[in-house]
C-alpha cells in the first residue's frame, strides 16, 4: 500500500481542518483511496491500488472530532441497538430458552447493534463541530485527495459485481506519475511504498 504523508518538518504546515493551527502526527486522520489498475471488469482478476492519505490535524480539531461524550454516546447507542435487536430476535423467533440460543442471539445483536450505531454516528460526523472547522470525513478538498479523486481514484473499495468499479481507460501510468510528482513538489508530501 502507498502512503502519502504531510511533511511535518515544514514549519508552515497547517492543520487541514481549521487551516490555522500547527498539526501533529499523533492527531492526523487517514483516508484510503482506491484505484482499479486492470481494465478487467469481471469479478475475477481485477486489481486495485490502495493509497492511504495521511491528513494533518491539530489537537484542538482532534478533540472536536472525537470528544469524550461522543465516545460514550456511541457506546450507549451500541448497547441500546444491541438490546433492541436482541429483543426483536427473541420476540420474532419465540425462542426456547437455552444457552446456545441466547449465545447466538447475543452475538447477532452485538454485531447488528454496532452496524446500526455506526450508521447513526455517520450523520453526526457529517456536521461541522465548530464554525471554521471541517467535519470529520470531509476530506475531498485536501490537495492530494483532490488530485487523486480528479484522476478517478475512489474513496470506497471498488466492487465490480455491484457495478461500482470505474476504470478510467484514458488514464496512463504517466498521468499517475505526474500527479504523484505534484503531490510531492506542490503539496510538500512524502510518498512511501512506491
**Interacting residues with Zn ion (CB under 5 A):** 15, 17-18, 21, 58, 61
Structural contact between residues 28 and 17, judged by C-beta atoms closer than 8 angstroms: no
15 vs 148 by CB, closer to Zn ion: 15
Query: 11: Cβ–Cβ under 8 A, 6 or more apart, which residues?
Result: none
Half-sphere exposure of 184 (CA within 13 A, CB side): 11
- What residue is closest to Zn ion based on CB? 15
61 vs 136 by CB, closer to Zn ion: 61
Question: How many whole angstroms separate alpha carbon 62 and alpha carbon 24?
Answer: 10
What's the closest the beta carbon of residue 62 comes to Zn ion, in angstroms?
A: 8
3-state DSSP assignment of residue 174: helix
What's the closest the beta carbon of residue 10 comes to Zn ion, in angstroms?
A: 16
15 vs 145 by CB, closer to Zn ion: 15
105 vs 133 by CB, closer to Zn ion: 133
Structural contact between residues 13 and 22, judged by C-beta atoms closer than 8 angstroms: yes
What's the closest the beta carbon of residue 18 comes to Zn ion, in angstroms?
A: 3
28 vs 109 by CB, closer to Zn ion: 28
What's the closest the beta carbon of residue 137 comes to Zn ion, in angstroms?
A: 15
3-state DSSP assignment of residue 105: helix
What's the closest the beta carbon of residue 15 comes to Zn ion, in angstroms?
A: 3
Question: How many whole angstroms separate alpha carbon 164 and alpha carbon 35?
Answer: 12
Amino acid at each position: 500500500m502507498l502512503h502519502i504523508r504531510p511533511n511535518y518538518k515544514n514549519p508552515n504546515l497547517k492543520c487541514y481542518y481549521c487551516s490555522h493551527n500547527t498539526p501533529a502526527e499523533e492527531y492526523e486522520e487517514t483516508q484510503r483511496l482506491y484505484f482499479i489498475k486492470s481494465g478487467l471488469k469481471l469479478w475475477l482478476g481485477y486489481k486495485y491500488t490502495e493509497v492511504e492519505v495521511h491528513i494533518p490535524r491539530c489537537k484542538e480539531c482532534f478533540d472536536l472530532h472525537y470528544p469524550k461524550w461522543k465516545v460514550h454516546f456511541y457506546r450507549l447507542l451500541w448497547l441500546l441497538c444491541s438490546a433492541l435487536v436482541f429483543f426483536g430476535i427473541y420476540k420474532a423467533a419465540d425462542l426456547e430458552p437455552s444457552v446456545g440460543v441466547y449465545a447466538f442471539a447475543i452475538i447477532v445483536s452485538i454485531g447488528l447493534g454496532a452496524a446500526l450505531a455506526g450508521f447513526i454516528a455517520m450523520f453526526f460526523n457529517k456536521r461541522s463541530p465548530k464554525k471554521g472547522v471541517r467535519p470529520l470525513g470531509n476530506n475531498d478538498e485536501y490537495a492530494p485527495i483532490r488530485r487523486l479523486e480528479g484522476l478517478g481514484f475512489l474513496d470506497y473499495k471498488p466492487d465490480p459485481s455491484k457495478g461500482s468499479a470505474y476504470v478510467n481507460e484514458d488514464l496512463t501510468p504517466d498521468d499517475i506519475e505526474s500527479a504523484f510528482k505534484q503531490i510531492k513538489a506542490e503539496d510538500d508530501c512524502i510518498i512511501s511504498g512506491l
